[in-house]
Amino acid sequence: MDRLHKVALIHAGGTIGMRRGRRGFEPAPGHLAALLEDMRELADPRIPGFELVEFDPLLDSADMRPADWERIAHAIADRYQAFDGFVVLHGTDTMAYSASALSFLLEGLAKPVVFTGSQIPLAEIRSDARENLLTSLMLAARDDLAEVVLYLNGVVLRGNRATKVSSSGFDAFASPNEEPLGSVGVAITLHRERLRPPQAGPLRVVPLADVTVAALRLFPGMRAELLRTVLAAPVRGLVLETYGAGNAPARDDAFFEALAEATDRGVVVVNCTQCLRGRVDMSGYVGGARLREAGVVDGGDMTAEAALTKLIWLLSQDLPTRAVIAGMHADLRGERSA
Ligand code: ASP
């Protein structure tokens, strides 16, 4: 029945399609295509028809840059009318960044975009790739899904809420601040009330500019000079990963002076918590209040990945600083709670 749906299977790289080389797993052109030829289950009528699009070069996702997010977005946009949905095969290391970025870059999205990959290559005997691939193809053929999601190991997560939590388990991802959109066991169940409605079209890829941003995780004893160095031009945005509910060293005046000097110059500094769960609240402690007074933006319960990609996307758009700040505060694609 599902041969009626057609899915573009976009292979950007990652472990799923890698081959064992002399120095470890590495991407290998044509390798995945050959493996897929041998998977008889892909001809099952319950699996949608698909067309493989292989990137050149295939990348370990540690090599991905914002230009690669744009490349994936264009691969989708170029085929948007011809396909019902899209699966992006991608390395798990930076999948949460790419899925977050795509949720912002694909304006007017009304079809499923499913990121998946695996912890063990498809060619290996105990691989998690087969199930991830088959279920992702089925998810990409759903008419009730119209956003960027991430699927691995039985859970469907909103792409911009996901974060990699395990380097060794098949349960590599979680979305600690949002319930999964769906679960996959005996049945594939999507929770309709959690899904985002299709956006009004047409689909448009927002181009990214060459903006310089940074991310910095606070640690005890971090010197204000380090912060100053990070915030120096040409940096235009910083995701500052703070303690707990958005807290920072309240007694370190030089620290807040460095921040205030940067925000006065128009640098957008976003406060995200180092905690996996929960949100920033800059009214709880003096350190948080001082961050707010220094012009730091409340990142709410966004993941650091979502905050960073959103910042790049907003700064790419030639907006006044206050509009970038308002955009960071707003929930635009389901990436933060109210
Ligand atoms: N290093 C790999 C990558 O991110 C890991 C994986 O795919 O799981 O490309």
Q: Which residue has the higher pLDDT, 259 or 2?
A: 259
Which residue's structure tokens are 């699927």?
A: 151
Taking 80 as the threshold, does the pLDDT of residue 2 lie above it?
no
Does one domain contain both 200 and 218?
Answer: no
Query: CA–CA separation, 161 vs 179, rounded Å?
Result: 10
Residue 301 placed within a domain: yes
What spacing in Å lies between the alpha carbon of 95 and ligand 1's midpoint? 8
Please report, for the domain that includes residue 105, its CATH number. 3.40.50.1170
286-293 and 253-264 helices cross at what angle (nearest 10)?
Answer: 30
Does one domain contain both 59 and 198?
Answer: yes
Does one domain contain both 238 and 325?
Answer: yes
Does one domain contain both 147 and 279?
Answer: no
14 lines ligand 1 (CB under 6 A): yes
Tens-place pLDDT, residues 64-85: 999 999 999 999 999 999 999 9
Residue 191 placed within a domain: yes
Does one domain contain both 168 and 238?
Answer: no
| Residue 125 CB-density burial (10 A; 0-12 exposed, 13-18 middle, 19+ buried) | exposed
213 φ, ψ (degrees, to nearest 5): -125, 170
119 lines ligand 1 (CB under 6 A): yes
Give the number of the atom of ligand 1 that is nearest the alpha carbon of residue 63: 9
93 lines ligand 1 (CB under 6 A): yes
The residue segments making up the domain with residue 263 are: 212-329
What spacing in Å lies between the alpha carbon of 59 and ligand 1's midpoint? 9
Residue 46 placed within a domain: yes
Please report, for the domain that includes residue 312, its CATH number. 3.40.50.40
pTM: 0.97
When pLDDT is averaged across residues 3-11 and rounded to a whole number, the result is 94
Residue 336 placed within a domain: no
- Among 160, 184, 205, the domain boundary falls at 205
Does one domain contain both 187 and 236?
Answer: no
Give the number of the atom of ligand 1 that is nearest the alpha carbon of residue 95: 4
Number of domains in the chain: 2
Does one domain contain both 69 and 90?
Answer: yes
Q: What is the pLDDT of residue 77?
A: 98
Taking 90 as the threshold, does the pLDDT of residue 222 lie above it?
yes
Which residue's structure tokens are 């799923």?
A: 16
92 lines ligand 1 (CB under 6 A): yes
Residue 337 placed within a domain: no
166 lines ligand 1 (CB under 6 A): no
248 φ, ψ (degrees, to nearest 5): -145, 165
Residue 252 placed within a domain: yes
Amino acid at 263: T
Does one domain contain both 236 and 99?
Answer: no
What spacing in Å lies between the alpha carbon of 295 and ligand 1's midpoint? 37
Does one domain contain both 145 and 227?
Answer: no
Q: What is the pLDDT of residue 81?
A: 98
- Among 186, 205, 224, the domain boundary falls at 205
Does one domain contain both 18 and 103?
Answer: yes
What spacing in Å lies between the alpha carbon of 127 and ligand 1's midpoint? 14
Taking 90 as the threshold, does the pLDDT of residue 187 lie above it?
yes
- The preferred substitution site among 11, 68, 92, 168 for testing ligand 1, maximizing ligand atoms within 8 Å of CB, is 92
- Among 182, 205, 228, the domain boundary falls at 205
Which residues are marked as active site?
15
What spacing in Å lies between the alpha carbon of 155 and ligand 1's midpoint? 19
**303 three-state secondary structure:** coil
Query: CA–CA separation, 108 vs 105, rounded Å?
Result: 9
